[in-house]
Amino acid sequence: MDATPPPRREAREEALAQVSALVDAGGEAFLRGEFPSARELFDRAAAAAARIDTPPHHPDVQAVHAQALINRATTADRMGDHTVAVGSFRAALALCDPLPEPAGRILRASALVNMAQALLHTGDFDGGQEALEETRALLTTARDGEAPPPDSDTADLLIGCLVALTELTIQRERWPRAHELATESLDVVLRHRPELAGRPLLNLSAIALATGRTALAEDFAHQALSAFQGAGTLAGAAEAQQALAQLYLRSGRTDEARSLLDAAQVFFEEAGMGRQSGIGLDLLGLLAALDADHTRAAELYVRGLARLEEAGAPVAAAEIRVRLAAALHATARYEECERQLSLAQEAFTASGLGLRRAQTDYFHAVLLADRLPDTPSPGTPGPGPAPGTDPGPGAALLGRAVALAVPAALAIDAVRFTLVNGAQRERWHQEIAAPAMRLAFRLAVRAGAGPLVAQLIESQCAGTPLAGTPLAGGPNTGSDDGTAPQPPRFLDPLDFPDPGRATREAVQNSARDAVQNSAQDSARDSARDSARDSAQDSAQDAVQDAVQTTAPDTPRDGPPTDTFRLGAALADVAAEAGLLVAPPPRLILDRTGAVALEPYLAEAEARYGGRIRDARKVRTW
């Protein structure tokens, strides 16, 4: 029973009603995409709630105070003020602890799932993971893991948790797990909240794009746009439209992309969305680079970088630094180019994105190779000096390029052994790993490093072990937690980490009469077609490889090779059958025990983390 004297209780209830009205008004502004107005209203609500949230604390006041802080933090995060958002979320969590059930649990889960998003933007992936795990525990424990009823607050929070977990795995570039989570979240949404289908569809688009299925990515992005428009979610529709612009850039449809991006920047500036406007400047810089206007591109990249740094988004800032380095290189500003690459490498390492660091090192090696005297650009034919003859200052550049290219190529190439699908493995090899390995070969040849060239060839010809198959004298394969390591997304000038946003005008002018059932059917059809096409591609690739591939020789001693090692074709068949393959074993070159590429493997594993080769060793003679 409330023992507060009636006059004081009436004053508190009146003040509480005013705070609630501010929170409601802020929520309406947020849904309209008017983020500066929403933030100002939530700031006023939080300040007013703090004035009346005094001892003895009343749970109703604390609950409204916590909600105001959560809403303020969510708006700050959308506007790119991620550090402030995290602080506000933590303040809200402190208010949730003493609240009674179920209000305290629901508010705490709401704060955690939204804080996880802000932590991901700051590059704190471990913190985001912890917040999401606590959210899931809070929600599923209360209901013994059962699916929540469609009209409950718990349903929305669980959906948000699944979507955020998907985005976390996307950021960490764990594509099989990301696809699994995105599919699961889409299924849950279509059963309980079909109007929220846009977000998992957009995640599926990002995953398809990163793993080389551009047509499927575009299909998912169109479906996401229809879902957002059907639900009247302007901000979500904007994200889907800029995601389409990104896809248009990737497929060379620059005019279509330009019209979206130009208008998108107006939307971001008006909405006060700093992080998204930074990404928009990044994309506009890429358009300028594609037009060969490298000076203009560098200017746009610098502006975008400033926005992202102000927003506290180090990973996105590192991505733009790589493209800025390319523009600086094109204008012969090599010293500044090197500085930007170094800062990007440091940021990726600090965020635990070792393979993204490997991709950046590969790109760095490409730029160094381009500076070598009398040599064609990487990937283009043309005469050059004889192997082993690189006099003058080019020798130092060549040495640096080899030191970067070989470990990076080994790390990038090793990713294909983590994919549980033959078609994806082949796509990764052809589109991503092969260019990196070709650069390593070419630089090694030019440096006159005959033993290195021979060891690279030996390494590429090695077979593929099945995961979990023990070899004599060696441990089982698989990562420390029993799962295969996951692949990263390749970083090149046309690959961006975040789905984008589009313009307020474009969103408002878009058709809003999308049929929800059609979107749902299309989503399911796309997912089914994707799985069927992958299986067909894998089977066709395996048959073709089986005709053309010769199995490696069997060692003189030990078990027969076919008990633990597969050629490329059979590895794809095994993968399609659901059998994981593992990183190749280390190759012993001679009776002294020398291991092929040992110093480069050690450098790659130390620099990028994870395993490049299995710990087991196999003789090559």
Q: Give me the CATH number covering residue 70.
A: 1.25.40.10
- pLDDT at position 387 is 52
Is there a domain that residue 21 lies in? yes
Is there a domain that residue 160 lies in? no
Tell me the C-alpha distance between 441 and 72, whole Å.
Answer: 54
Type of residue numbered 554: T
- pLDDT at position 23 is 93
Tell me the C-alpha distance between 400 and 396, whole Å.
Answer: 6
Following DSSP, what letter does each residue of 392-427 receive, concatenated? Answer: TTHHHHHHHHHHHHHHHHHHHHHGGGG-S-HHHHHH
Is there a domain that residue 237 lies in? no
Tell me the C-alpha distance between 297 and 307, whole Å.
Answer: 15
- pLDDT at position 5 is 53
Out of 117, 148, 179, a domain closes at 148
**Given the structure tokens 């080769």, which residue do they identify?**
613
Is there a domain that residue 38 lies in? yes
Tell me the C-alpha distance between 230 and 356, whole Å.
Answer: 36
Contact 420, 177 (CB under 8 A): no
- pLDDT at position 575 is 45
Is there a domain that residue 595 lies in? yes
- pLDDT at position 485 is 35
Contact 309, 344 (CB under 8 A): no
Is there a domain that residue 58 lies in? yes
Tokens for 200, please give them.
């998992």
Is there a domain that residue 589 lies in? yes
Q: What residues contact residue 137 under an 8 Å CB cut-off, 6+ apart?
A: none
Contact 583, 612 (CB under 8 A): yes
Out of 148, 171, 203, a domain closes at 148
How many domains in the chain?
Answer: 2
Within the chain, which residues score under 50 in pLDDT? 1, 142-151, 376-385, 390, 469-522, 524, 527-578
Domain that holds residue 611: 585-619
Tokens for 35, please give them.
């983020």
Tell me the C-alpha distance between 77 and 131, whole Å.
Answer: 16
Residues 426-450 pLDDT 10s: 778 888 889 999 999 999 999 999 9
Tell me the C-alpha distance between 462 and 303, whole Å.
Answer: 47
- pLDDT at position 580 is 59
Is there a domain that residue 261 lies in? no
Q: What residues contact residue 482 under an 8 Å CB cut-off, 6+ apart?
A: none
Region at 26 (left for phi over 0; alpha for psi -120 to 50; beta for the rest): alpha
DSSP 3-state assignment of 553? coil
Q: What are phi and psi of 19, to 5 degrees?
A: -65, -45
Tokens for 417, please give them.
């052994």
How far is Cα of residue 440 from the mean position of the Cα atoms in its chain?
Answer: 26
First-last CA distance in the chain:
85
Contact 185, 158 (CB under 8 A): no
Out of 116, 148, 180, a domain closes at 148
- pLDDT at position 372 is 93
- pLDDT at position 557 is 39
